[in-house]
Amino acid sequence: MERRTRVRFAPSPTGPLHMGGVRTALYNYLYAKQRGGDFIIRIEDTDSHRFVPGAEQYIIEALNWCGIVPDEGVDQEGKVVETASDRHPHAPYRQSQRRPIYRQYAEQLVDAGWAYYAFDSADELNERRAAAEAAGDTFMYNAASRGSLRNSLTLPEEEVRRLVETTTDWTIRFKMPHNRIVKMEDLIRGHVEVNTDTLDDKVLWKRADELPTYHLANIVDDHLMEITEVIRGEEWLPSLPLHYLLYEAFGWTDTMPRFAHLSLLLKPVGNGKLSKRDGDKLGFPVFPLAWKNPETGEVSHGYREDGYFPEAFVNLLAMLGWNPGDDRELFTLPELVQAFSLDKVQKAGAKFNPDKAKWYNKEYLRMKSTQELTALFVPVLESHGIQVVDCPCNALTAGARFEGFGADFSNHIFTREYVEAVVELVKERGTFVADFWDIAAYIFVAPEQFADFGIKAGAGLADKPADPNRPIDPRAKVYDDTATAPFLAKDADKFWNADNAALCQEVCNYICEEYKGSMDAPVLEDVLETYIKGKEWPMGKVMNSLRLALTGAASGLGIAAILSFIGRAEFARRMAFVAQRLG
RNA sequence: GCUCGGUUCGUAUAACGGUUAGUACUCAAGAUUCUCAAUCUUGCAAUAGGAGUUCGAUUCUCCUACCGAGUACCA
């Protein structure tokens, strides 16, 4: 008695799939999997004018990346997806390939008095619309007007037959009943009623290309494919009465699917639905994968290419308009399957929040293993001219300097172990894998530029002219006017000046020549502290100056950690460089 | 215009008709540190407006406002 759950995602291949579309597909998938049912992808390509090459493949690939894989549908090569249990009585899954199916259904409706042939040309109808609009009202092709138009209800039978047989630009239209209240149930919105007089006689089938419109194809295919629930975007709610009536007209009410209409994804700021433009403006992708417009060549960002994990993308999408009923926010796909419920889906549209999206990625990044992150980081390193080798023995040149992990600074070669240790150190600090480079580039490459002595941009006082006596580098913004910029003068002092330089050099000499112990970060940390405090030097000054010398920056990783990576020889080299550069 | 849908901190959301209206993101402050980040603590901040039903309304009803969708031989 209970039918097997079967839902479908039915995109139109008119362009790349928008993240809102992915969410719709996701909800369908979750609903089906939770009930042990089937998730089907059906390509609705009945509009021959709007076909975009590559769009269908894009859609499949995008869903695939998210882990939303169909039980039935087409794969990336356009082949029918096979499952063990099923010989696909429902195929094909592309509506353009189902063309022969639809005409008979449309004519069945004509025979039953639920539809009629319409011979009005598009131009004629546009004229009527324009005229009505000029007169201040709206033209609708329905009970009120169909009696005065050219169709099989007004023309003599002979004429109708002649036109149907000899001309090719007619359509079959649904004969919307007059003054009937259609009562509908939506799984998310509850009871909805509409009077049919506010609806028009929709075109169901077009003789010109012998294709159905969405409405006919949708009902026929959902019926033939034994769909039990239709979960789709809110934009379809206004045509739900038509769909109800079509099921009635076909006599399929007993197997009519249940409907759920999802609210839209809205732009982060202002009003309106999320669009590509918002993404460009605010710097976040609106598409799952990057997309190159085949006509303009324009490339749009994708979550995948921007460094998002598919798990994070799926998770954040799921939480946009749905909640589990408790405070949990992190869900894997299988967990979502478990927890999902249509009655926890929000009725109102959800504004997309790019900050929260990043937060999700950060959370998933932290959950990844160091090995996995390293594998993703290696290509980033390579793009910066760094070579990563699996074994330190052969690949490093003679004279390569090793300290701990294995690094050859002069030839930009590092072992995987070294990279893994770096990842371990920085994984808490990034949102994307690519951030690791920004955080830790100086672990691989010595700095050539030095920050403005650590003075924070935006500190508000950073535009004073440099004192010719104090600064060591003409580019540096250093201040000694303690009356007007005491904070900055003090801070600049902390980072670099002749005194600090001397102290740093002493630290370097000590570590590189006298100190023979371990270069492990925790040990080194104690050693440095003991040494500096023993000399009664100010920790802050020395450490920050060292950081500037070693990294070129005023902020970043701990000094001991940095030294534990670069080792004594590189330490000495960088000190020599900074001395020559900054004096 | 008409039809349908929607409205809780800036955002996403929670709250049997009874709560000091909760949580997360963002933001701010403090703690910590050699700096930054992370972390921890604290804080800012909401029931669109008006009637009605009720002992009691974020929750139910109606009106207004605002937002969205649809109004194609597009999906």
Say which residue the tokens 């080194």 belong to. Answer: A524
Confidence of residue A484 (pLDDT cuts 50, 70, 90): very low
Q: Mean of the pLDDT values across residues A512-534?
A: 92
Question: How confident is the model at residue A408, as a pLDDT?
Answer: 86
Instruction: Please indicate, yes or no, whether residues A299 and A257 belong to a single structural domain of this protein.
Output: no
List chain B nucleotides near protein: any atom < 7 Å from a Cβ.
1-8, 10-15, 22-26, 33-38, 67-75
The pLDDT tens digits of the residues spanning A81-92 come to 766 556 678 989
Nucleotide nearest to A11 (CA to C1'): B75
Q: What is the ipTM, given to two decimal places?
A: 0.95
Instruction: Please indicate, yes or no, whether residues A255 and A141 belong to a single structural domain of this protein.
Output: yes
- E-strand ranges in A325-436 read 350-351, 387-389, 407-408, 413-415
The CA–C1' separation of A259 and B6, in angstroms, is 18
Confidence of residue A473 (pLDDT cuts 50, 70, 90): very low
The pLDDT tens digits of the residues spanning A281-319 come to 888 999 999 999 999 999 999 999 999 999 999 999 999
- Say which CATH number the domain at A79 has: 3.40.50.620
| Residue where a domain stops, chosen among A213, A232, A262 | A262
The pLDDT tens digits of the residues spanning A541-580 come to 899 999 999 998 888 999 999 999 999 989 999 999 988 8
The pLDDT tens digits of the residues spanning A214-252 come to 999 999 999 999 999 999 999 999 999 999 999 999 999
Cβ of residue A237 near strand B, that is under 7 Å?
Answer: yes
Instruction: Please indicate, yes or no, whether residues A131 and A226 belong to a single structural domain of this protein.
Output: yes
Of residues A22 and A390, more confidence is placed in A22
Instruction: Please indicate, yes or no, whether residues A293 and A307 belong to a single structural domain of this protein.
Output: yes
| Residue where a domain stops, chosen among A262, A294, A322 | A262
pTM for this structure? 0.90
Residue A491 pLDDT greater than 70, yes or no:
no
Q: How many domains does chain A have?
A: 4
Q: Mean of the pLDDT values across residues A368-397?
A: 85
The pLDDT tens digits of the residues spanning A344-375 come to 999 999 999 999 999 999 999 999 999 999 99
Residue A436 lies inside a defined structural domain of this protein? yes
As a whole-number percent, the residues of chain A with pLDDT over 90 amount to: 71
Surface-to-core class of residue A135, CB atoms within 10 Å of its CB (0-12 exposed, 13-18 middle, 19+ buried): exposed
Q: Which backbone phi and psi does A413 adopt, to 5 degrees?
A: -115, 130
Separation CA A105–CA A172 (nearest Å): 11
Question: How confident is the model at residue A407, as a pLDDT?
Answer: 84
Instruction: Please indicate, yes or no, whether residues A251 and A387 belong to a single structural domain of this protein.
Output: no
Instruction: Please indicate, yes or no, whether residues A14 and A48 belong to a single structural domain of this protein.
Output: yes
Residue A293 lies inside a defined structural domain of this protein? yes
Separation CA A542–CA A521 (nearest Å): 17
The CA–C1' separation of A496 and B36, in angstroms, is 17
The CA–C1' separation of A422 and B38, in angstroms, is 16
Averaged pLDDT score across all residues of chain A: 87
Cβ of residue A208 near strand B, that is under 7 Å?
Answer: yes
| Residue where a domain stops, chosen among A239, A262, A285 | A262
Residues of A 238-277 whose CB lies less than 7 Å from any atom of strand B: 238-239, 263-264, 266, 268, 271-273
Residues of A 100-159 whose CB lies less than 7 Å from any atom of strand B: 120-122, 125, 129, 138, 140-141
Residue A169, helix vs strand vs coil: coil
Question: How confident is the model at residue A450, as a pLDDT?
Answer: 77
Cβ of residue A312 near strand B, that is under 7 Å?
Answer: no
Surface-to-core class of residue A398, CB atoms within 10 Å of its CB (0-12 exposed, 13-18 middle, 19+ buried): exposed
- Say which CATH number the domain at A201 has: 3.90.800.10
Instruction: Please indicate, yes or no, whether residues A45 and A187 belong to a single structural domain of this protein.
Output: no
Q: A248 lies in which domain range?
A: 97-262
- Say which CATH number the domain at A561 has: 1.10.10.350
Instruction: Please indicate, yes or no, whether residues A253 and A235 belong to a single structural domain of this protein.
Output: yes
Cβ of residue A544 near strand B, that is under 7 Å?
Answer: yes
Question: How confident is the model at residue A405, as a pLDDT?
Answer: 59
Is A488 within 8 Å of A452 (Cβ atoms)? no
